[in-house]
Amino acid sequence: MSNIHEECGVFGIFATHKKDVASAVYFGLHALQHRGQEGAGIVVNDDGIFSYHKDLGLVSEVFDNDTLSALGEGNIAIGHCRYSTSGSNDRSNVQPIVVKHVKGPMALCHNGNLTNSYELREELELNGSIFHTTSDTEVISYLITKERLTAPSIEAALEKVMDVLEGAYSLVLMSPSKLIAVRDPHGFRPICYGITEDGDYVVASESCGLDAVGARLIRDLEPGEIVVFSPEGVRSIKGHVGKAERAMCIFEYIYFARPDSVVDGASVHEARQRAGSYLAEEHPVEADVVIGVPDSGIDGALGYARRSGIPYGVGLIKNKYVGRTFIAPEQKMREKAVKMKLNAVSATVSGKRVVLIDDSIVRGTTSARIVGLLREAGAKEVHMRVTAPKFVGACYYGTDIDDPAVLIANNHSTEEIAGIIGVDSLGFLSIENVVRIPDGGVTKGYCTGCFDRIYPTPVPAERKKGRFERKISEKGE
């Protein structure tokens, strides 16, 4: 039940013939709604004519039968659900970005965060470019448009742009005749593609998005790979594959991804159970019941219970009609969201020594509230175990932690944190074991910068989420 924000979900479809592709994207975005709940958009391509609708809100709030019907039929479409890690939650920042250009229209969706967007945008602006948003996605669209002037194809332009982009970017891109998927050379964020029974190709941030439209997973994109879907078929471009060390965000397995997804060949559900099992080995305790914080703590609790032999129980009930707590941008709103979202099951925890499994502790306020619920329900002891290491570092790759000063682990010891949140004992998963959770082996190729401050790319000079929208007083003018 972390207060961490992940950027976005991306989705695209390339159909064999003209049809209602907007509805397919709608269902795909619904499946990816956990990745972003601030805004949503869909662009439909009908023989090179782009129709689109986007707005602030959940997918079900932005789209209804009328808005979907108004988009019409087509054979290519892309969609996006957003949480803002670069740029404010403003209607102008809702994606997809749509560009109308003499070389043909283009629509672009982005999951991730560029680490050199400030420098790239400054250079573009000094050369006459005018920006309409404050997101780094528009920087990518400008660079692609610029390269299209001389490049023989849009994918060739994209290859040139990848030479200058730094940081995390999984993209879905649409031209008049092509659907293109891209993953940055480090592979920070997931992206995969599959095929339906009708032969339509589908691209999604996670495999659960493919499942939502009945598509069979073919594979994940390799870090640095471009995959082009066109009337000529499917083509893979690997000029940037192997140019950087793989650095998949390990927190995808801990929290961001849906448990029914398979990311880079590893089941998220099994990874979370493995994390709970490792926790039981690292931090055993005598207790009567193991419970998990819905939703991402449930699998960890099952793993802890199985390994420890302590029975698993349902100790917290989630109100399914309240969104994930992390979407609330202000602290007071987050606290109210927790109160609306969870309730303790007294029959499970009353008079019991409880092991509470959660995915992370960021600021500590959410954890304290949950522990309070358990105490009020009669829990005799509460021993908290966390399926992630301590958060001590900022993230620059699409997770909304730009100020390490807000992280409780940077200001307090484990024992102090336990006292602050009101638990009898507290244990975090080690960094050595967290990188083993995807497949059970000692595995390299994961970014753990938020746990150890070791980053796979240079730390950006401009780090704040609102770096493109500072007040005059903050600029020193």
pLDDT digits (tens, 9 = 90+) for 194-239: 999 999 999 999 999 999 999 999 999 999 999 999 999 999 999 9
Q: How far apart are CA 203 and CA 456, in angstroms?
A: 26
Interacting residues of 286 by C-beta distance below 8 A, sequence separation 6+:
353
Least confident stretch, 174-188, 240-254, 324-338: 324-338
pLDDT given for residue 333 in this prediction: 56
CATH number of 268-444: 3.40.50.2020
Looking at residues 331-343, what average pLDDT do you find?
Answer: 66
Q: How far apart are CA 169 and CA 157, in angstroms?
A: 16
Identify the H or E element spanning 302: helix 296-308
Q: How many CA atoms lie within 13 A of 321 on its CB side?
A: 0
Q: Which amino acid is at 260?
A: D
Looking at residues 385-405, what average pLDDT do you find?
Answer: 89
Classify strands 74-82 and 8-19 as parallel, antiparallel or unpaired: antiparallel
Work out the pLDDT band at 132, boundaries 50, 70, 90: confident
Catalytic machinery residues:
8
Alpha-carbon separation of residue 276 from 44, 303, 386, 452 (angstroms): 43, 4, 8, 21
Work out the pLDDT band at 139, boundaries 50, 70, 90: very high
Tell me the longest C-alpha to C-alpha distance in the chain.
72
pLDDT given for residue 474 in this prediction: 52
Least confident stretch, 268-282, 336-350, 437-451: 336-350
Interacting residues of 91 by C-beta distance below 8 A, sequence separation 6+:
39, 55, 56
Looking at residues 386-391, what average pLDDT do you find?
Answer: 97
Work out the pLDDT band at 464, boundaries 50, 70, 90: low
Respond yes or no on whether the N-terminal peptide bond of residue 96 is cis (omega within 30° of 0): yes
pLDDT given for residue 130 in this prediction: 83
Looking at residues 89-95, what average pLDDT do you find?
Answer: 81
Is the dihedral angle over the CA atoms 138, 139, 143, 149 positive or is it negative? positive
Q: Between these two residues, 383 and 444, which has the higher pLDDT value?
A: 383
Looking at residues 340-347, what average pLDDT do you find?
Answer: 91
pLDDT given for residue 340 in this prediction: 74
Q: Is the pLDDT of residue 339 over 70?
A: no
Q: Is the pLDDT of residue 425 over 90?
A: yes
pLDDT given for residue 324 in this prediction: 47
pLDDT given for residue 476 in this prediction: 46
Work out the pLDDT band at 335, boundaries 50, 70, 90: low
Residue 152, number of CB atoms within 10 A of its CB: 8
pLDDT given for residue 5 in this prediction: 52
Q: Between these two residues, 328 and 346, which has the higher pLDDT value?
A: 346
CATH assignment of 8-247, given 3.40.640.10, 3.60.20.10, 3.40.50.300, 3.90.226.10? 3.60.20.10
pLDDT given for residue 203 in this prediction: 98
pLDDT given for residue 341 in this prediction: 82
Work out the pLDDT band at 463, boundaries 50, 70, 90: low
Q: Is the pLDDT of residue 85 over 60?
A: no
User: Would you state the structure tokens that stand for residue 202, as one six-digit string?
Assistant: 């589908």
Least confident stretch, 217-226, 315-324, 387-396: 315-324
**Domain chopping of the chain, boundaries:** 8-247, 268-444
Q: How far apart are CA 266 and CA 68, in angstroms?
A: 34
Portion of the chain with pLDDT greater than 70, in percent: 90
